Amino acid sequence: MIYLSKQEKRRAFWLNISAILICILFLFPIYWLVVTSLKTEGEIFRTPPTLFPLKITFDTYATQLFGKQYNMFEAFMNSAIIAVGTLVLSTLLSIPASYGLARFRIPGMQLFILLFLVTQMMPSSLILTPLFIAFKHLHLNNTYLAPILADATIAIPFSVMILRTYFITLPKELEDSAKIDGCNTITTFLRIMLPIAIPGVVVAMVFSFLFGWGDLVFALTFLSDTHKQPFTAGIFNFLGYQGISWNNIMAFGTISIIPVVLIFVFIQKYIVSGLTGGAIKG
Amino acid sequence: MARSRLIGYYFIFPALIYMILLVGYPIIENIRLGFYDVNVMNISSKSQAFVGLQNYRDLFDKGTIQIAMGNTLFYTVICIVFQFTIGFGLALFFSQKFGLSERLRGLIMVSWLMPGTITALMFRYMFSLDGGIINSVLLRLHIIEKPIEWLIQEHNAMWSIIIANTWVGVPFNMILLTTGLITIPKDVYESAAMDGANAIQKFFRITLPLLKPTITSLLILGFIYTFKVFDLVVVMTNGGPVDATEMLSTYSYKLSFGEFNFSQGAAVANILFVILFIISLGYLKMVSKEEVM
């Protein structure tokens, strides 16, 4: 236990209070999102707006979930399929690649690393038109595979960069002793290195999931069938058809950020370390 | 030795080939498309005419491309200035040690992880004329006399998107700068204090120079990530009013999938590519000087 002087205690107290105020101010939009979803249609347009709902209602959720107008459940299932697909594809490809880039000294290595770095920086609009045409010929448009394949192009370089820094920091002696115990390259990788790298792998998986979950542009381009569209594309089209009913849309939004909040609660610590490693050291 | 090298390639190649097929090929195909006339009528046929630079000439004659370039650049620079300044301020604050510092610093990151579509809708509602909270707060504080037409008026629409994007980008800046700040050894400050340096001198003589590598990568990465904005703009204004918030990415999308003029859409994407490629090269040169391997 560290004993703080009275002055230091007071300082810490005021710092904590200011930090809480900063967070409340900064995160107010998210509060507003949730609160709006619980208001009635009439209360939405009140001036001045009410900071807390006069009457809490879950009607918005009921209309969205069970109403005929727009099926939220279906949209979220589609988003989940696309996000999980992106996660699986990206993880399967990027774990071995990042291990290879971190552990083997082979000709061309510098170039491979550069290729992953550059692709990470390219905008989705760049690959949109050619992929749309290619997917059309391959009859992939309007299948879940189309956005999954495209989302993985963002998730893979990101994961490779994060995981590579992770594998580099693992001590070389681990591998050597595994070799002495009779492991070959593959079994060393699977039995020794991969289990230690789990925190890094989790971060890569989480971000791959979030890329798929939040994607709008690929879904909008490749999926015109409304029964296949994820919530992002669904909500975007929903905007166009009628006057905006904000409470319904915010109910949608509230549910869509649940994975973000859950992820945040459970693996916050890993995200910060994984992110700073990957982004700065490149 | 030769065998273990081969295994190295086995590890890397699946991901590498994937990226070459799904990113490398489209980049090349975009360049070809830019020189041909490909639209919804001839997309599947073999008879696509070579038109040279006609697509680019048409784009510049129409004039929207110049506006989109200017908008994208303005938006990117202003966003980075805001994100970086606020992010730095918060990093200085949260790098101090107090009970809740780490927990609350992490909490701020939620805004960075939110789906872009939802962030855009949230701000669109907050900026709206009917029941928008931002106008109502500004009115209540007597900062403005009558409601501001945030998303409807051309000049304000751009600022609305900038404000929304700043909210998204602040945590990224803050987290990276905080990590940088924490790694600066304490004794550097202590010896400076003994030499009689005040807080401002310490900031400019120690903090800034030692953070320089972090700051440079942050600014370049920020530029690249901000320059390719799509979701926020499409959902908040869809490029409007008129072309006031049209960006290179949204313009390219509109040409390809609104007008089905795939060639011109590809041509705009190529312009975007060239700009980002030059900046990426600068970044790579900087990173490889420090440490790539």
pLDDT higher at B172 or A6: B172
Q: What is the pLDDT of residues B199-219, one digit of tens each?
A: 888 888 888 888 888 888 888
Classified as helix, coil or strand, B36 is strand
Across the 282 residues of chain A, what is the mean pLDDT of every consecutive 10-residue run?
Answer: 73 90 93 90 78 80 69 88 97 93 82 83 87 93 95 92 83 78 80 82 90 93 92 84 77 88 77 58 37
How many inter-chain contacts (A to B, CB under 8 Å) are there? 302
pLDDT at B234 over 70: yes
pLDDT higher at B254 or A168: B254
Q: What is the band of B292 on the pLDDT scale with cuts at 50, 70, 90? A: very low
pLDDT of residue A53: 82
The answer to whether the peptide bond before residue B115 is cis (omega within 30 degrees of 0) is no
- Secondary structure of B41-88 in HEC code, one letter for each residue: CCCCCCCCCECCCHHHHHHHHHCHHHHHHHHHHHHHHHHHHHHHHHHH
Token reading at B211: 């953070």
Gyration radius of chain B over CA positions: 24
pLDDT higher at B3 or A89: A89
Residue of B nearest to A217 (CA): B231
pLDDT of residue B290: 61
Residues 6+ apart with CB under 8 A from A94: A155, A156, A159, A160, A163, A204, B15
Q: Which B positions 48-87 lie with beta carbon below 8 A of chain A?
A: none
B260 has a chain A CB within 8 A of its CB: no
pLDDT of residue A67: 66
Residue B221 is nearest to which of A232, A261, A279, comparing CB atoms? A279
Q: Does domain B54-284 have CATH number 3.40.50.11540?
A: no
pTM (2 decimals)? Answer: 0.88
Interface test with A, best of B5, B16, B163 (most A CBs within 10 A): B16
* From A234-248, B14-28, B48-62, the region with the lowest mean pLDDT: A234-248
Q: What is the pLDDT of residues B78-117, one digit of tens each?
A: 999 999 999 999 999 988 888 888 788 888 888 888 999 9
pLDDT higher at A110 or B248: B248
pLDDT of residue B4: 67
How close does chain B come to A104, measured CA to CA in Å? 6
Region for B185 from its dihedrals, namely left if φ exceeds 0, alpha if ψ lies in -120 to 50, beta otherwise: beta
> Residues, chain A, total?
282
Average pLDDT over residues B42-62: 83
Amino acid at A81: I
* From A51-60, B178-187, B223-232, the region with the lowest mean pLDDT: A51-60
The answer to whether the peptide bond before residue B241 is cis (omega within 30 degrees of 0) is yes
Residues 6+ apart with CB under 8 A from B129: B135, B147, B149, B150, B152
Instruction: Give the number of other CB atoms < 10 A from CB of residue A177.
Output: 13
Burial status of residue B52 (CB atoms within 10 A of its CB: 0-12, 13-18, 19 or more): exposed
How close does chain B come to A68, measured CA to CA in Å? 22
Q: Could you write out the DSSP letters of every residue in B98-165?
A: -TTHHHHHHHHTHHHHS-HHHHHHHHHHHH-TTT-HHHHHHHHTTS-SS---TTTSHHHHHHHHHHHH
Token reading at A268: 């916050």
Give how far the C-alpha of residue A14 lies from the chain's centroid of Cα atoms, to the nearest Å. Answer: 34
Q: Answer yes or no: do A47 and B94 touch at CB < 8 A.
A: no
What is the distance between the alpha carbons of residues A118 and A110, in angstroms, rounded to a whole number? 12
Q: Answer yes or no: do A127 and B22 touch at CB < 8 A.
A: yes
The domain locations on chain B are 54-284
pLDDT of residue B76: 95
B121 has a chain A CB within 8 A of its CB: yes
Which residues sit opposite B36 in a β-bridge? Answer: B50
Residues 6+ apart with CB under 8 A from A220: A232, A233, A236, B257
What is the distance between the alpha carbons of residues A165 and A282, in angstroms, rounded to a whole number? 8
Amino acid at B178: T
Average pLDDT over residues B170-181: 89
pLDDT of residue B248: 93
B184 has a chain A CB within 8 A of its CB: no
Q: Which A positions 111-170 lie with beta carbon below 8 A of chain B?
A: 112-119, 121-134, 136-137, 149-150, 152-153, 156-157, 160
pLDDT at B282 over 60: yes
What is the distance between the alpha carbons of residues A233 and A10, in angstroms, rounded to a whole number? 50
